[in-house]
Amino acid sequence: MSDHSSNQSNENSHQESMLPQWMYWVFAALLIWGGAYLMRYSGGFSGEVYDESTVTYGPVKGGAAAVEDPKVLGARVYKANCAQCHQLTGLGVEGQYPPLAGSEFVLGSEAHVIRILLHGLVGPITVNGKPYNGNMAPWKDVLDDKKISQVLTYIRSDWGNNASAITPEMVAAVRKEEAARSASWTEKELEAAPKVLPK
Ligand code: HEC
């Protein structure tokens, strides 16, 4: 009796440690699928591939709207394109890159600041009482209307700045009005250009 029972338990444990062969195939298939999935969708595990502006889910109140906030998206455009010269502080570099914090160019006419971004600015200017004489290249072929509106909305509202938002439609209107232009603006030319937005 005891012989018999020990035999049986041996047999049982032997069987339990074996997986049926079809399961090995299932695991192999899962591994291949998992690897392929990672290659296709991991984006090299880089955070850069995550685009918040495309997120449509989230809490009903505030959530989705918060990530679509042009100020938040504009801050991102600023960090990627402008901060190396104008600095994260918006204070620029004295004698070289003018400040955006407190700048009359930033806080003044919407049409003017859009013109500066689209076509660039060259020659002597005075910002916050200090002279600059540099050259900022145009952004019209680098940033679209939406991104320009976002970055302008951002620089008009950070660092103590408090000016109205700029919409993509405003940028599009100025882009259309100045379509024939190729030269960068000088301060003199800007003064002569209309301060109000084109209809
Ligand atoms: C390579 C350096 C550089 C980068 C990058 C740059 N700028 Fe400028 N920016 C300048 C310089 C230099 C001037 C002044 C030009 C002059 O002296 O006539 C200027 C002038 C300006 C002005 C008008 C003057 C003022 O201080 O208000 C604004 C507004 C401005 N830049 C915004 C931006 C924004 C927004 C970005 C990013 C999309 C940007 N700049 C990226 C160098 C740069």
- pLDDT (tens digit, 9 = 90+) per residue, 53-103? 666 666 555 555 556 788 999 999 999 999 999 999 999 999 999 999 999
Residue 36 clears pLDDT 70, i.e. is over it: yes
Q: Would you state the structure tokens that stand for residue 95, as one six-digit string?
A: 């004698």
Q: Whose CA is nearest to atom 16 of ligand 1?
A: 134
Residue found under tokens 């003044």: 108
Give the integer Cα–Cα distance in Å for 1 and 25. Answer: 40
Query: What confidence tens digit (pLDDT) does each residue in 52-67 have?
Result: 666 666 655 555 555 6
Pocket mutation for ligand 1, best pick of 79, 121, 151 (most atoms within 8 Å of C-beta):
121
Pocket mutation for ligand 1, best pick of 73, 89, 136 (most atoms within 8 Å of C-beta):
136
Domain locations in the chain as residue ranges: 2-48, 63-192
- Distance (angstroms) between ligand 1 centre and the Cα of 167 equals 20
CB atoms within 10 A of CB 197: 17
Query: The CATH number of 63-192 is which of 1.10.10.10, 1.10.420.10, 1.10.760.10, 3.40.50.300?
Result: 1.10.760.10
pLDDT class of 2 with cuts at 50, 70, 90: very low
**In contact, 95 and 85? CB cutoff 8 Å:** no
Q: Which one, of 127, 138, 120, 112, lies nearest residue 197 by Cα?
A: 112
Q: Would you state the structure tokens that stand for residue 184, as one six-digit string?
A: 């960068």
For ligand 1, is residue 148 a contact (CB within 6 Å)? no
**Of 56-70, 112-126, 165-179, the least confident:** 56-70
| Ligand 1 atom, smallest distance to 84 CA | 5
For ligand 1, is residue 112 a contact (CB within 6 Å)? no
Task: State the sign of the Cα–Cα–Cα–Cα dihedral 22, 27, 32, 33.
Answer: positive
**In contact, 101 and 161? CB cutoff 8 Å:** yes
- Distance (angstroms) between ligand 1 centre and the Cα of 67 equals 26
